[in-house]
Amino acid sequence: MTDPKNPFEMMMKQAQDMAKAMNPALENFSPTDAFKGFEAMWPTMPKEVMEMMFGNTVNKDGLDAKTRLLITLAGLTMQGAQADSAVRQTVRHAVEAGAKKQEIVETIGQMSVFAGIPAMTRALELAQEVMGEEGDSET
């Protein structure tokens, strides 16, 4: 019992060794980079499409796409902001639907009361990655 590794670390090491044996190019594989590449291939829906699919086009008195996306962002933050791609894509689509940086930050910040500071901080980091790429100077 001198091995300090826990079972999860041992399982991850075994999976990495197997991947390297099958394909040496996977030695430097980063799941984070792979998901970001996938996100880049997924187009941002135009606001009009979002309104038609998720907004108040069908339900005239319902929530608009921007509000629905901010609620989705709040839910993702509540889950601990663990789904990096989902958070980044939701922020990207919320911006396209008309959400301002301040609204996104407030939505995430409000969740700190319920989800905790670490979840809020992680969601803000992910949102900043997207908002920095967007080049939108509005707050």
**The pTM of the whole model exceeds 0.75:** no
Within a domain: residue 37?
A: no
> Model confidence over 71-80: pLDDT tens digits?
999 999 998 8
pLDDT digits (tens, 9 = 90+) for 58-97: 677 778 889 989 999 999 999 887 788 889 999 999 999 8
CB of 126 closer than 8 Å to CB of 84: yes
Nearest to 75 by CA among 123, 118, 37, 22: 123
Q: Based on the fold, state whether residues 19 and 81 are members of the same structural domain.
A: no
Same domain, 53 and 111: yes
The answer as to whether 53 is a domain residue is: yes
**Are 53 and 75 contained in the same domain?**
yes
Q: Give the position of tokens 């796409």.
A: 65
Count Cα atoms within 13 angstroms, Cβ side, for 106.
Answer: 7
Structural domain of 125: 42-134
Q: How many domains does the structure of the chain reveal?
A: 2
Within-domain flag for 36 = no
**Contact call for residues 108 and 120 (beta carbons, < 8 A):** yes
57 and 87 belong to one structural domain: yes
- Based on the domain organization, do 104 and 59 belong to the same domain? yes
- Distance CA(62)–CA(46), nearest Å, equals 19
